[in-house]
Structure 1
Amino acid sequence: MDTRRIRGRVVEIEAGEAAGIGCVAVGVVRGGLPHEVGMRFEAKGGDADEARRLLEAEIEAYFS
């Protein structure tokens, strides 16, 4: 589990392999505005690093 700050929100990120689809990264907002806490994001990639990069880009875009 990795904790990152993205656009002022604290996000816990975990990545792992998923059968048949490569890797999946899941991020859950743990700190931010009350209605944002608990929001869940997911991204798929060929490996864990790619999945994390895609996930961070998705979260960044959502909160921009």
Structure 2
Amino acid sequence: MARKREIIAPHGAISKIAKDTGFSVPTVRYALRGVTNNGNADVIRKRAIEIYGCVYARG
């Protein structure tokens, strides 16, 4: 399966997303990198874009 596009998070956003969603920091990191592709990763990616000002990486 192909990786999803990477999402770039501002400084400190990953730990805030982890606390907000209840997932661990490595889980959030892998979801934003596009390594994991499941329902949890979709929730994390959606919240990162909508609430925390994260953006898609070029490419």
TM-score (norm 2): 0.31
The structure with the largest alpha-carbon Rg is: 1
Which protein, 1 or 2, shows the higher relative CO under an 8 Å CA cutoff with sep ≥ 6? 2
Higher strand share: 1
Higher helix share: 2
TM-score (norm 1): 0.30
